[in-house]
Homo-oligomer: A and B are copies of this chain.
Amino acid sequence: MLRITKQTDYGIVLLSHMAAEPERLFNAPELAEAAGLPLPTVSKILKMLARDGLLDSHRGAKGGYCLVSAPEEISVAEIIFSLEGPIAMTECIDDGPGECQQEGSCPLQANWQLINTAVRQALQGISLRQMAGPMGPQLVQLASRSAHSSLQP
């Protein structure tokens, strides 16, 4: 179906919430409450984001998480990269050479990079700031105009 996982989905929701007050420290129970999601799930996601350096974590009582960078500086690509691993749409890339059975007969190896790169760049072009809104409906309007193109019958 070519979709991101729910974890990533939730992660973007949580980060968007935090982006409203970029300086503040949020703890997991609070974010779970705000997002209407179960605490264990939220906790798991925040751990991953902290492990990969998108969030700073403070342990102990009065602990919590806060954004490392400004929302403008965080791209959706980084979030996805953290929560579901490398953005590689095709296989023979990150398996390294020699793994692909077709090896000799597959003239596509290099061209797969085109896809991976295109998607990666597209996602790098969207910041957490944009996702967090309140970006007016005018931009969204622009977006959905082409969203309902030939691909979305």
Q: Is the CB of B140 within 8 A of A111?
A: yes
Listed stretches A43-51, A55-63, A100-108; interface member: A100-108
Contacts of A77 in B (CB 8 A): 151
Interface residues of A, dominant DSSP: helix
CB A110 to nearest CB in B, in angstroms, measures 4
Contacts of A144 in B (CB 8 A): 113, 117
Number of interface residues of A (CB under 8 A): 64
| A147 vs B101: C-alpha distance when bound (angstroms) | 24
A41 on interface, CB distance cutoff 8 Å: no
Nearest B residue (CB) for A107: B133
Choice from B4, B114, B122, B123 contacting A90 with Cβ under 8 Å: B4
CB A129 to nearest CB in B, in angstroms, measures 10
Contacts of A108 in B (CB 8 A): 12-13, 16, 131-133
